Every structure is written in C-alpha cells, then in structure tokens.
Chains A and B, each alone.
Chain A
Amino acid sequence: MGVEVISVSVDSQFVHKMWNDHELSKMVNKDIPFPMVADGAGNVGKVYGVYDEDAGVELRGRFIIDPDGVIQAMEVLTPPVGRNIEETIRQTQAFQHVRATKGSEACPSGWKPGKKTLKPGPALVGNVWKEWTPNNDL
C-alpha cells in the first residue's frame, strides 16, 4: 500500500525504546517497524486536537495524510477502546483510488478495492439507485 506509519505519545523516546524492547517486540517477534515520536509537552497533540489537558495524555487520534500533506481522514477515540486497523486500511485504499483517478471516481459507503465506484456527474444525479444500493455487493 505504500504508507508510512508514525506513532506519537507523550512518553519519551527512551520509554518508547523500553516498551519496544520489553513488550511490543514480544507481541510481533521483531522491532516496531515505524518511528515512535516523543511529544512530552503535548505540542504536536495540541495542534492536532488530540491532547487531553486534564489527563496529560493524547487521545487515540488517527490521521490519514496524502502525498501533498493534506489530511484526508481523521478519527479520535477516548482511551478505553482500541481502533480497527481494517477500517483504516479500507479508508486509505479508497483515498488512494480516488487520487489515482484524479477525483473522477468516488467510493460509496463500504467500498473495498475491486468493488464498484461511482462517477459523479450530471448523468448520475437521481440515478445512484441504479448503480448502488446498501445491500448489493457490486
């Protein structure tokens, strides 16, 4: 898919090393394959709107950023619930498809690679029902 991952928390790079060495590397049987950023003062989290001032930690914010540096998608969860990486991959593939078609195609709800896209234009107005319904698997 060609996506670079960057993780950020308020822990120092030294704690990131310890977490990698003592726990994460045991989950995946190798070193974490992406940079783990230290944002102790929450400066990065603040501009992304994910820094919790009261708790002094960052929320589960997830941003898909395109090659022009534009944020295409964001999701923020409070700490007790984890993310669904499958959905992140699906959204990224959809945005990559839209970019590859230079915006001439759009991905309807639930779209996955190989499924039907829509071509926005005058002919489609009022006719989406012919192309797509919530239940079909085109």
Chain B
Amino acid sequence: MAEKSGGCARPTGARVGEASPSKENNQPQSMIEEEIFMTAKVGNKAPDFTAPAYYKGEFTEIKLSDYLGKWVLLCFYPGDFTFV
C-alpha cells in the first residue's frame, strides 16, 4: 500500500465511478437520484469506493475493488473516541 502525502485536499471517500457535479449534466433527474440511492444488498456486488485511510503509521488510500479475491469484513461505526 503506497503512502499518500499528508495533504488535505481530498478529505473524504467517494464511490468509484461517481459522476462529478457538472452544470452540463442533462440527464433526467430521476436517473441521477436512482444512482445515488442505490444501496447495498446481500447477494449483490458490494459498491466499490475509494477513500483516504490511516494504516500502520501511514496515510494511504483504500479501493475496495483492490481486495477482489479476498474475503473482506467492512465495518462502519459512529465515531472515533466514542464509548462502545
């Protein structure tokens, strides 16, 4: 996993293939919403994403599809320094 420079220009994650906001986007609104609200379901492919991460002393970037061929346990939680 390559170390990323400690910049702060891209502070969050994003779904891979997510369209960047564009004023010239002339897709019907309903199609855009459908794309955004597609959620994960068992039996379906896990939505791919890239996001910055901290791993063993380094700032890096995680891309879920890099883990194809391996079992993955993906865990969300409310926040660092919370109690449970």
Contact = CB atoms under 8 A, between A and B. Distances in A.
Given A7-B77, A63-B73, A13 B54 contact: yes
Given A38-B53, A38-B54, 10 more contacts: A3-B70, A5-B73, A13-B54, A38-B13, A38-B52, A43-B13, A49-B39, A62-B76, A74-B42, A79-B78
Contact of A44 (B51, B70, B71): B51
Q: Name the 8 nearest CB pairs between A and B, nearest first.
A: A40-B12, A16-B54, A19-B80, A49-B39, A35-B55, A61-B76, A58-B76, A65-B72
Contacts of A45: 76
A69 B68 contact: yes
B43 interface: yes
Interface of B: 1, 8, 11-15, 18, 36, 38-49, 51-57, 59-60, 62, 64-65, 67-82, 84
> Which range holds the interface residue count of chain A?
35 or more
Nearest to B80: A19
A70 B65 CA distance: 11
Given A4-B67, A71-B44, A13 B75 contact: no
B3 to A, nearest CB: 12
A79 B47 contact: no
Contacts of A16: 53-54, 80
B79 A10 contact: yes
A35 B44 CA distance: 24
Contacts of B44: 70-71
Contacts of A80: 84
B79 A31 contact: no
B52 A4 contact: no
A67 B73 CA distance: 11
A38 B77 CA distance: 11
Given A2-B71, A13-B52, A64-B73, A69 B45 contact: yes
B5 to A, nearest CB: 12
Given A37-B13, A38-B53, A38-B54, A67 B76 contact: no
